[in-house]
Structure 1
């Protein structure tokens, strides 16, 4: 694996856990159509994590979901996605990446259909969890296939396109969601944000059958069933009470789950240590975390993505329920953020080779300034009579900072990981990313929703965003411990 593999500049990064050696004597070649198909598959999971946010008020109205279930609709997808990502990558190594891409895409279409037809809120939550699991089967095969079928400059261009696709999808999901809800296609309302996935996924399947070559690892890693189960239990013990506690009055079971979290987490860590000592393939190898770049990067990623996930959730709810903006206007308010992110993602690769970790620190600082500008707009701009374009200055600064930081963080950190462990290092980073996105919805989302009823939507939004700024400040401080340069 070359350095090009570790120059990953997207919001979702996962490469194979072992050297990706195709079984054929002559390595297969990825065509332009094949790359386009893989990028289409990569965009679907990230779009779907965020597309639901702008539809939450409409879902609440139609299904009488309530705040707790709304958070589970948003975060349940992310938890399943995070827990099963590395497992999905290892399964692709074993049975074939195109095969898993096709299976994951087909399951994504079916679970999207289940979401779109859900008769009640609990059914929607269950379908969203299943949709996250399908995404975890599909997504890892994208970068693994790119790695196995490209090299040199072609690989660099493919990774650059992948990074741009993932970053833009995160913000564009909410913009697209607003437009679809407002369009009310054939009277489907919010259901269209899920139903639209079905024909898109079907097209991806047909294209993949024609254009994506089959590859697999010659030495695939074994499945860490115990580690996967314990990681899932740890995340659920932490996130479920945080999401549900306020809505159900913090009953005893919430406190028991929170109290159990460190013990389940410790059991996970002991299983991983024992697995590594005995020559197994742990989900998260403890010795990998001894790597300075990985350890420092995970700390920054935890604060960064927790804040990002929380921001996208609370701003979507506040714009619609607080300012009474329609879904199109709420989505339009995020267009400057997406545009600035895209510009920064194009600029960041050139800056990082010269300035190294200072690009991350600068990006995080700009993000914090942008959030503060949004807070000032909320408090001083004439709430509740603000419009979508009143948020333009803050969104521009915020999006540009995120583009610099997000597209650079993975590249710097993974450049410190030994080449033979780059795949599992990518998996650990992405698992942290997806878990943190769900944690942001659970923490900042719960804070915002619990305060909105007592101090009002405006002040609740300001408090939640200031809490995010505190997290940004922590990530800025931690970023100075990142590796100085890209190796």
Structure 2
């Protein structure tokens, strides 16, 4: 197995002659460095969800219409998902710290472009490029953690990453509601993007000082055919599902969906041929020989489908169905965020004692929370308020928090350090694609049922479907290892 070269930041290299600890062995990710990379990872996750509560305001100001509003969400998610594995490979080649800095700087610039967009199409274009910047930045976070930590410190860092990821998903909609309502300096919805700029500046300053440079000692060249086929596979699946309902399912959507299995098969065959020939494909099929990845990756797909769909549907239901404002709709999710974060912090200790079984328990708890939400919707709609939502959201958040950090840790626990970039890229691609798929499928189901059933019954049916997806997650969690290193 090749070794990963780990280089300290510039300031550390300059002082290596006077610091014995910096001249021997790989650099260790400091507490400040870990905070910095987690900050960088939170930004793209928050920005996937932050627009949900701002869509009505964007529509009103830019006269976007349903199709373009879908693209504001989907354009970001598509470019983000399509380029994640490539971003991980580039980090292995050119240095993960370098790509993290480039990605963060690009994220700040594209956020500024989103905040200043004069019309809906400009906003869509800026969101697509913002997603591409996210794909450069995010894979470097997990790869850096894998390459510059070990043992209990790595376990703690992975637990914090999982806690941050889940919290960021919920906090995105809470923060979006607060910023839209605050109307900072008359910026309205634009503040949800402009707020990223000062955060990025701080992040760049911290990263330059505290994040160690790591890269693969024998980086593989970019797999151009694999990259193009993966991009085409994701586009043929996600583009028609996200745009189909808003554009009344034109012919291209059905042709695209029909092409998806053939393109996906071509991607697999090309990657397998390259792997067997001794080359390094974009997603090496041999990577799935790693047992932790093979067992831990499948549950992430249904978990993320249910999470992404739920967050989109609940934002629409609370604002349009119950008449809540952006702030109230965001604050209604605070119990879920608090429960998720608390469960995530307990995760490292629990996984050490119970292994993958803790994720099975988490799925059962999440299912219980969804049942409570369904009963509350059936009983109280359209008078459902914060008190009625509280028990279901609290318990669902607790169950989610017992799953996601555990799954992240298991997936990457046995991936070799020299494949940290591609391993993290594959995992985050699966998660991100599934989040977008959840918005497309559960969101489309909810919006399609609403005219015939009314929003309350449509929400109850959608939550029942989500309950089935959670049950699938729980079944897949049964395959997780009983002990986790």
TM-score by length of 1: 0.90
* Kept after mapping to 1: 8 A contact 2:158/2:408: no
**Aligned twin of 1:171:** 170
Shift of 1:280: 1.6
**Aligned twin of 2:80:** 81
* Aligned residue among 397, 401, 408 for 1:403: 401
Query: How does 1:399-478 map onto structure 2 within 5 Å?
Result: 399-415=397-413, 417=415, 421=419, 423-478=421-476
Label 1:101 to 1:266 Cα distance change in 2 as closer, same or farther (>3 A).
Answer: same
Query: How does 1:360-399 map onto structure 2 within 5 Å?
Result: 360-381=359-380, 383-399=381-397
Shift of 1:152: 4.6
* Kept after mapping to 1: 8 A contact 2:103/2:133: yes
Label 1:339 to 1:187 Cα distance change in 2 as closer, same or farther (>3 A).
Answer: same
**Aligned twin of 1:184:** 183
The CA distance in 2 between the partners of 1:284 and 1:238, in whole Å, is 18
* Kept after mapping to 2: 8 A contact 1:56/1:317: no
Query: How does 1:129-208 map onto structure 2 within 5 Å?
Result: 129-208=128-207
Shift of 1:430: 1.7
Label 1:216 to 1:409 Cα distance change in 2 as closer, same or farther (>3 A).
Answer: closer
Secondary structure at 1:22's aligned position in 2?
A: strand
The CA distance in 1 between the partners of 2:249 and 2:152, in whole Å, is 55
Shift of 1:193: 0.4
The CA distance in 2 between the partners of 1:453 and 1:145, in whole Å, is 48
Secondary structure at 2:220's aligned position in 1?
A: coil
The CA distance in 2 between the partners of 1:131 and 1:215, in whole Å, is 24
Label 1:122 to 1:372 Cα distance change in 2 as closer, same or farther (>3 A).
Answer: farther
The CA distance in 2 between the partners of 1:437 and 1:128, in whole Å, is 17
**Aligned twin of 1:120:** 119
Query: How does 1:300-311 map onto structure 2 within 5 Å?
Result: 300-311=299-310
- Tell me whether 1:212 sits opposite 2:196 in the alignment: no
Shift of 1:70: 2.6
**Aligned twin of 2:17:** none
The CA distance in 1 between the partners of 2:267 and 2:469, in whole Å, is 26
Question: Residues 123-165 of structure 1: CA distance to partner in whole angstroms, max 9, x if unpaired?
Answer: 2222112111101111222233334444455444433433332
**Aligned twin of 1:22:** 6
The CA distance in 2 between the partners of 1:215 and 1:435, in whole Å, is 27
Secondary structure at 2:44's aligned position in 1?
A: helix
Q: Which runs of 5+ in 1 are unaligned?
A: 2-17
Q: Which runs of 5+ in 2 are unaligned?
A: 9-22
**Aligned twin of 2:60:** 61
* Kept after mapping to 2: 8 A contact 1:341/1:399: yes
Question: Residues 267-294 of structure 1: CA distance to partner in whole angstroms, max 9, x if unpaired?
Answer: 1111111110111212222233355543
Label 1:211 to 1:355 Cα distance change in 2 as closer, same or farther (>3 A).
Answer: closer
Shift of 1:470: 1.2
The CA distance in 1 between the partners of 2:56 and 2:127, in whole Å, is 17
TM-score by length of 2: 0.91
Shift of 1:23: 5.0
The CA distance in 2 between the partners of 1:147 and 1:247, in whole Å, is 41
**Aligned twin of 1:222:** 221
- Tell me whether 1:347 sits opposite 2:325 in the alignment: no
Aligned length: 470
The CA distance in 2 between the partners of 1:186 and 1:470, in whole Å, is 45
* Kept after mapping to 2: 8 A contact 1:22/1:218: no
